[in-house]
């Protein structure tokens, strides 16, 4: 996955740098890892490259299933709580 920032705006450039700084320090199985970050000065763009994750997003799972089985909901909730706990 590639996230593109328009760094012609200094506040967006600062936000991109902050995101890169944070992501570069994170190592958790439930959080995408940063692979690369580079800037194209001519285009005034910054590119944040994240690892490719297979499978569906949480939003897709919820949309497809309409109603989650309790065991799956518990599993997903625990994973979410573990990631949030790691971040704090």
Asked whether the predicted pLDDT for residue 30 surpasses 90, the reply is: no
Tell me, yes or no, if the pTM score tops 0.85: no
**Mean pLDDT score across all residues of the chain:** 92
CA atoms within 13 A on the CB side of 82: 11
pLDDT at 22: 94
Q: What is the pLDDT of residues 51-85, one digit of tens each?
A: 998 888 888 988 998 888 999 999 999 999 999 99
Task: Give 9's pLDDT tier (boundaries 50, 70, 90).
Answer: very high
Give 62: exposed, middle or buried? Use CB within 10 Å, 0-12, 13-18, 19+: middle
């Amino acid at each position: 996955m590639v996230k593109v920032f328009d760094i012609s705006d200094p506040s967006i450039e600062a936000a991109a740098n902050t995101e890169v700084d944070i992501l570069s320090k994170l190592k958790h199985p439930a959080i995408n890892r940063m692979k690369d970050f580079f800037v194209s000065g001519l285009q005034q763009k910054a590119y944040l490259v994240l690892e490719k994750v297979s499978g569906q997003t949480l939003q897709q799972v919820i949309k497809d299933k309409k109603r989650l089985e309790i065991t799956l909901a518990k599993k997903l909730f625990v994973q979410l709580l573990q990631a949030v706990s790691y971040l704090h």
